[in-house]
Amino acid sequence: GWLKSLNPKVEAFGVSPENSPVMYESMRANKMLEMETYPTLADTCAGGVDLDSITLDLCRRYVDEIMLVTETEIETSIRLLFEQHRLVIEGSGALGVGGLLKRKEHFKGKKVVAVVCGRNISLELFKRIIA
């Protein structure tokens, strides 16, 4: 909200793992949903949100669009962040980059900020992804 108050042209995009699309589907339904989810590399973003949480209201107010990122796109993002920037990032932390890659034509020529955070990824999983 703060950035949008400074510049109304700012767009905010949300990302959710395709295997756990609770917030994505909740925004589409305009209410918090309970639904089955599947394992995802973005495990800290997996699962539901409390039905009485303020999260949905905040997302509706500040997020212009939310997109789903596949497991392959999460892996690609983790690999890219390591190969090009030497960053070790967990799956949830790579979701934003996954969204950028998914919609790269939309973002072409624009100033873009992606939040990249968290490196709580097992060594075995990380080695498998970057191999």
Average pLDDT along the chain: 93
Asked if residues 14 and 92 have their Cβ atoms less than 8 Å apart, the reply is no
Rounded Cα gap, residues 91 and 130, in angstroms: 13
Domains identified in the chain and CATH numbers:
2-130 (3.40.50.1100)
Rounded Cα gap, residues 128 and 120, in angstroms: 15
User: What would the mean pLDDT of 1-14 be, rounded to a whole number?
Assistant: 88
pLDDT band at 124 (very low <50, low <70, confident <90, very high): very high
Rounded Cα gap, residues 60 and 58, in angstroms: 5
Asked if residues 66 and 21 have their Cβ atoms less than 8 Å apart, the reply is no
Smallest Cα–Cα separation from 45: which of 128, 118, 114?
118
pLDDT at 64: 93
Asked if residues 6 and 54 have their Cβ atoms less than 8 Å apart, the reply is no
Report CA 106 to chain centroid distance, whole Å: 16
User: What would the mean pLDDT of 94-115 be, rounded to a whole number?
Assistant: 95
pLDDT tops 80 at residue 43: yes
116 vs 20, 39, 94, 100, 127, CA distance in Å?
19, 21, 6, 12, 19
pLDDT at 22: 93
Cross-strand bridge partners of residue 16: 68
pLDDT at 65: 94
In percent, how much of the chain has pLDDT > 70? 100
pLDDT at 115: 92
